[in-house]
Amino acid sequence: MTPTYLLPLPVVIPLFTAGLTLALWRVPKLQRVLSVTALLAMVVVGLMLVVNVDVGTLVMHIGGWQAPLGIDLVADRLTALMLTVSSFVLLCVLLYSLGQDVADGAAEAPVSIYHPTYLVLAAGVSNAFLAGDLFNMYVGFEILLVASYVLLTLGGTGERIRAGAIYVVVALASSVVFLTALAITYAATGTVNLAQLAQRLPEIDPGVSLAIQLLLLLAFGIKAAIFPLSAWLPDSYPTAPAPVTAVFAGLLTKVGIYAIMRTQTLLFPSGRLDEMLMWLALATMLLGILGAVAQSDIKRLLSFTLVSHIGYLLFGIALSSRIGMASAVFYIIHHITVQTVLFLVVGLIERRGGTTNLERLGGLAKASPGLAILFFVPAMSLSGIPPLSGFLGKLGLLQAGVASGTPTAYVLVVGSVLTSLLTLYALVKAWNKAFWQAPAMELPNERLPRTMVFPTSMLLVVMVGLTFIAGPLFDYTGRAADELLTPDAYVSSVLGGSS
């Protein structure tokens, strides 16, 4: 039996559990158990999908309504990978936040809305990945917006409210652009189903098709924080609590990248905007990392590196080649894990050092040598030091750029190498200041809670493990790239005999 029953579970499980945890807000222990169980179930479902979609795309027509009339949930290799990794990251971050509550003595009286909102966020992420039509993808983004705004402003401090206001204004602007693109798309083609759009868009006026493509890129580019649409991110993310910042950094921009990857390959395979995307990728890389080099706060530094390395993902998409797309998919998996680990570690640094200001930090290597290792390893991976997964992903992208052979691709190759070197410089500078320089103030006399260190270490082990499974994983991402670049199987799986 084709296991299509798996498809709604990554959305239904967290939404159902969110309702339960909201109803049980007076029983925090049960809230925690339910939330962890739900995310564990999502990881299991994701792994089952990874195995099952390797033999063919899975499609569920909700309510039995065939495409394009009904709502379709679709999973191919890319979707399954994104669901699995995002579910595991969400689980690790939740365990970290629970450990933080225990360490702070707040386990018996947590913010009652945290668990329901966090699970709604998980449902929104899953819905965006599984959406088989643009409107359902829009719904997923809106679920993300509502949940992320609540999480971003937890605690209600003035700084968080201001950052949340910036975030929500930018997100609403993106939503308006997305809705405009939806309206034009439906008016021009009579559908918003992705598979049917793949058939109809080549038949409409090229100018209208280009307008739709540009509007979708603008909407998704804001969410992915691509230059020049990235200025909001370094001002929004650092103000949130450490677990919230970690999950935002790891996942939310990748939802935008996923949408770009899906729509550019499925709806606009001609590659007419690839040159523009390459230059945007270069600007995102270089300006992002230059911003990181100038920072004296480690949270803002990592926020700028987050922006910068989105450029690598855009580079792989713009190359429109098998090795470029496969490397981009691999790099997404790497980047989700490494950025999440780094922001979780920064939460530990702030706890142990009392601040995230690099001018005031110091002496942490002696006070907490394990914390130094926890920061150093993902920092080296993000910088592209061999043999870690960041090096392998970047090497694949550089090979794809050289294989492309165009002048712009060669410029991107040079820009990628320069960005890696500057990333290494920025992170080594941060590591030296935080861990080796003489502390500017007395460190708090507090040991790091194991309940927070364990989930961070668990995610770090998975990040390092990507190096050891790089061969099979690259094989899988290569097959995912084949599906993206030759989407006939996707279209036929969704539409069957309809048109």
Written as six digits, the tokens of 245 are 């910042």
- The count of structural domains within the chain is 1
Residue 208 lies in a domain: no
* pLDDT for residue 444: 67
pLDDT tens per residue across all 499 residues of the chain: 468 889 999 999 999 999 999 998 888 889 899 999 999 999 999 999 999 998 888 998 887 777 666 788 999 999 999 999 999 999 999 999 888 865 555 544 446 788 999 999 999 999 999 998 999 999 999 998 888 888 887 766 667 677 677 888 888 889 999 999 999 999 999 899 999 999 999 999 899 999 999 999 999 999 888 988 888 888 777 777 888 888 888 888 899 999 999 999 999 988 788 899 999 999 999 999 999 999 988 999 999 999 999 999 999 999 989 999 999 999 999 999 999 999 999 999 988 888 888 888 888 888 888 899 999 999 999 999 999 999 999 999 999 999 998 999 999 999 999 999 999 999 999 999 988 887 766 766 677 888 889 999 999 999 999 999 999 999 999 999 999 999 888 888 888 744 4
- Spatial distance between the Cα atoms of 337 and 82, rounded to a whole number of angstroms: 11
| Non-local CB neighbours of 250 within 8 Å, separated by 6+ positions | 86, 89, 93, 336, 337, 339, 340, 343
Q: What is the structure's pLDDT at 108?
A: 43
The separation between the first and the last C-alpha atoms of the chain, rounded to the nearest angstrom, is 26
One DSSP character per residue, 385-431 reads -TTSHHHHHHHHHHHHHHHH--HHHHHHHHHHHHHHHHHHHHHHHHH
For 293, counting Cβ atoms within 10 Å of its Cβ (0-12 exposed, 13-18 middle, 19+ buried), the class is middle
Helices and strands, counts by H and E, the chain:
21, 2
453 found inside a domain: yes
Task: Let me know: does 405 contact 417? Beta carbons within 8 Å.
Answer: no
Residue type, 5: Y
Whether residue 109 contacts residue 51, with contact meaning beta carbons closer than 8 Å, is answered with: no
What is the rounded distance in angstroms from the CA atom of residue 95 to the CA atom of residue 148? 18
DSSP per-residue letters across 157-170 = -HHHHHHHHHHHHH
Alpha-carbon span 306 to 303, nearest angstrom? 5
What is the model's pLDDT at position 302? Answer: 92
Of 484, 367, 386, nearest to 435 by C-alpha is 367
Give a yes or no: residue 356 inside a domain: yes
d(CA 375, CA 460): 10
* Domain presence at residue 317: yes
SS3 state of residue 58: strand
pLDDT score at 373: 92
Q: DSSP assignment of 270-308, as one string?
A: T-TTHHHHHHHHHHHHHHHHHHHHT-SBHHHHHHHHHHH
- In what helix (H) or strand (E) does residue 184 lie, and over which residues does it extend? helix 158-189
Contact 477, 121 (CB under 8 A): no
The tokens describing 479, both together, are 């097959």
Q: At what angle do helices 274-293 and 298-319 cross, to 10 degrees?
A: 160
* Domain assignment of residue 265, yes or no: no
Contact predicate 331/397, CB 8 Å: yes
User: Are 310 and 229 in contact, with CB atoms under 8 Å apart?
Assistant: no
pTM given for the model = 0.93
Residue 297's domain comprises: 273-468
Q: DSSP assignment of 28-42, as one string?
A: HHHHHHHHHHHHHHH
- For 246, phi then psi, to 5°, come to -65, -45
**Inside any domain, residue 335:** yes
CA-CA-CA-CA torsion sign (248, 309, 258, 4): negative
Q: How far apart are CA 177 and CA 29, in angstroms?
A: 42
Structure tokens, 309: 């390395």
The pLDDT value recorded for residue 5 is 87
- 40 lies in some domain: no
What one-letter code names the amino acid at 352? R
Q: Is residue 457 part of a domain?
A: yes
Here the tokens at position 13 are 């499980």
- Give the closest residue to 279 by CA, choosing from 318, 229, 306, 235: 318
DSSP 112-144: TTHHHHHHHHHHHHHHHHHBSBHHHHHHHHHHH
User: How many C-beta atoms surround the C-beta of residue 414 within 10 A?
Assistant: 12
Q: Which amino acid is at 414?
A: V
Nearest alpha carbon to residue 345 among 445, 245, 466, 235: 245
Distance separating alpha carbons of residues 241 and 154, to the nearest angstrom: 8
Q: Are 163 and 239 in contact (CB under 8 A)?
A: yes
Supply the DSSP symbol for 8. Answer: T
Closest residue by Cα to residue 288 from 273, 307, 260:
307
